Amino acid sequence: MSERRGRIASGGALVNMERVRRLPLDDAGIGGDSSVLLLAATHTLSAYNASYLNLAIARSMPLATLDRKLAAAARKDGVAVLGPFAHGD
């Protein structure tokens, strides 16, 4: 989203992910950042929202959200949605 809005240069998300990878963090073991970035680009979501969608997909769990755009993306990817947008707008 930041690339699309011109807040960071093209490819900046990948550069920043490389920086994050170098931090001493424990990996939850679910997918990789490339799947999050792909979901973000495919559905024009923020990386934050794409992370929740990625987690729901990886764990085969429904996604509870009050975000209309995230709910629509989840439904497109076959993820059950809980909340006011469970059945669309």
Q: What is the average per-residue pLDDT within 53-71?
A: 95
Q: Is residue 50 exposed (0-12), middle (13-18) or buried (19+ Cβ within 10 Å)?
A: buried
Q: Which of 35, 30, 37 is nearest to 16 (CA)?
A: 37
Assigned domain for 41 exists: yes
Assigned domain for 6 exists: no
Assigned domain for 88 exists: no
What's the rounded Cα separation, in Å, for the pair 18 and 84? 36
Assigned domain for 77 exists: yes
52 vs 89, higher pLDDT: 52
Question: Which pLDDT score is estimated for 51?
Answer: 92
Joined together, the tokens standing for residue 63 give 């996604």
Assigned domain for 68 exists: yes
Contacts of 74 (CB under 8 A, 6+ apart): 53, 56, 63, 65, 80, 81
For residue 23, what pLDDT band results from cuts at 50, 70 and 90? confident
Assigned domain for 21 exists: yes
Assigned domain for 47 exists: yes
| Domains: count for the chain | 1
Assigned domain for 55 exists: yes
Q: Is the pTM of this model over 0.75?
A: no
The CATH number covering residue 66 comes to 3.40.50.1010
Quote the domain boundaries for residue 48: 12-82
Which contacts of 78-86 are long-range, i.e. CB under 8 A and separated by 24 or more positions? 79/53
